[in-house]
Chains A and B, each alone.
Chain A
Amino acid sequence: MTTFAIYSITAVVLFCVGLMGLAVHPNLLRKIVCLNIMAGGAFLFLISLAYNSQGPEMDPVPQAMVLTGIVVAVSATSFALCLTRMIKERTGQCHLEGSDKDKDN
């Protein structure tokens, strides 16, 4: 039970750190990393559930969920990075604030 507590509390802390970073940092790359930290927290929590169930064997369902989640997180990260790169090309900025004008105009 204590192992579960350590893992799950760490997971919730990671999640909150990621959420706060996402809200606070203006830099897009940092925002995307924070999103991944949030995802890491959620995945760690799910994985810690696998050992929480009774008996020596672990539950395969949370592991399957985390695998699916990782696939989703990877594709979402690459999509977000792609958008960030296009924004950098168009405006020369790497944050969402400020003028929305194209660099050339």
Chain B
Amino acid sequence: MPELLILIPFSAAILSFVIPEKFRKWIGLTAALFILVSSLDLNKKIYTNGIQRLNLGGWDPPLGIALNIDGLSIIFTLLTATVGFMVSLYSIWYFSKGEQAEQDGYFWPLWLLLWGGLNSLYFVADIFNAYVVLELISISAAALAALNGNASSLKAALRYFLIAMAGSMTFLMGIGFIFAQTGSLDMQTVAAAEQHGPLMFSAIGLITLGLIMKTALVPFHFWLPPAHSEAPAPVSAILSALVIKGSFFLILRFWFCVFHEAQAMYYTSLLLGVSGVTAVLWGSYQALIQSRLKMIIAYSSVSQIGYLFILFPLMFMSADPYWKLEAWTACIFQTISHGLAKAALFLAAGNLIQSCGTDHIKSMRNIAGSLPMTTFTLGLAGVSLMGLPPSGGFVAKWMLLQSILTSGQWWLAIAPVLGGLLTAAYIFKILSSTFVSDQKGPQKRNISFFMEKSALILALLSILMGFRAEEISFLLQERMSFDLSGGYLP
């Protein structure tokens, strides 16, 4: 029942608006559990029976709105459900005491609304529906980013929201161009229509531009570090691990399911590749020179997002379909491992802030002694970001490097090689300060058992997903509703 994955979060969100604040978290946790179970169930169905296409209300696509669930959708849904459940578990304790307690009532409805938006985005098969869902995600994400309520977080949230709205409007303009060219909004019909001429050329440019503004690819990354580092820890985890992946998912959908105008896409893909490599290097360098833990992690997101965009030039430059498939699988692996590792890092950073009162890297002295589990989480997630075996990040970067080398585009190899080194440098910067012994430091507060465990579980998953590589590749290669060279499969 794929509709349940949309219905549960939305109805729980509406329900939690009307009930008293102290019960909201239990509605949230119950909904999270149900979503996790039903996405696992849907995953099993897609894995054994193949892709699903649903016409809502029994109306066929030109009139009605269809849902399309393939291997790509289910992987993103599962990632969202896993991270979402762990973050929900964490939030129950995070928002239970201190100044965070008053944000509790607002967090749950907004987070469930965001979750429903993300799930609908993954099933989207109608380009205008994609716009509506994107707006829903932007508004609830920006409201979550402003949850702290102090001036710097409000400014960061508004900056994020303005960029996201400009991105949405650009995206809407692109939809207008597609509609003018093809006269349809259904992805499958648009993919089957003739795509040529200046209208389609502009549509590809506008849609890609609008979506990379929301995905925070260099040079549109400037809003991300303040917005992600000023938010409360669970919100930072959601924004960094899931929300930017949502707009990236739409880029993948449009590039591989809808567009097949090869010339326009070739030039755009070169630009995306250059931005991707720049993002990897610039983001890691910025992460290296920051002095606050959450800023380091946020800049690390800027750099890890860059890896995802190396896929696009490879798709057009690699002649061998085998290596195209390898690059595609590598990109999705990177998405999953980054999502899990980044959520773990932000949750661990939240633990540190609750324990030390600040996230300045100098104040983190000797936490290896007082918070060993959180330090271990930082280390494990760092291993996945650096790409050391056997983590998911290693599988992704290894496959990416292989397909770059066989495609002969040596300039793309700068990103995984130099980027990996820089990543190691900023991860060691975090870890080295945790082992400095400091007897005089302020009294550290204790952290709830569940808060430490849920961060640890996410970090462990990002390491262990390397062992489930075969199943993920199967979903990505055998359960797709489209061909990598463009357009839907018959």
Contacts and interface: CB of A to CB of B under 8 A. Distances in A.
Interface residues of B, number: 32
Contacts of B185: 61
Interface string A33-46: 00100110110011
A94 B131 CA distance: 29
B173 A45 contact: yes
Contacts of B170: 19
Interface stretch (B45-53, B150-158, B420-428): B150-158
Main secondary structure of the interface of B (DSSP, over half): helix
A93 B152 CA distance: 12
A19 B135 CA distance: 18
A46 B155 contact: no
A68 B168 CA distance: 13
B180 A96 contact: no
A35 B165 contact: yes
Chain A interface helix/strand/loop/mixed: helix
B176 A42 contact: yes
Contacts of A42: 169, 172-173, 176
A6 B183 CA distance: 20
A84 B151 contact: no
B166 A79 contact: no
Given A35-B162, A96-B155, A90 B176 contact: no
Given A75-B139, A101-B151, A38 B169 contact: yes
Contacts of A53: 183
Nearest to A101: B151
A97 to B, nearest CB: 9
B146 interface: yes
Interface in A68-105: 68-69, 72, 75-76, 79-80, 83-84, 86-87, 90-91, 96, 100-103
B179 A79 contact: no
A102 B146 contact: no
A87 B173 contact: no
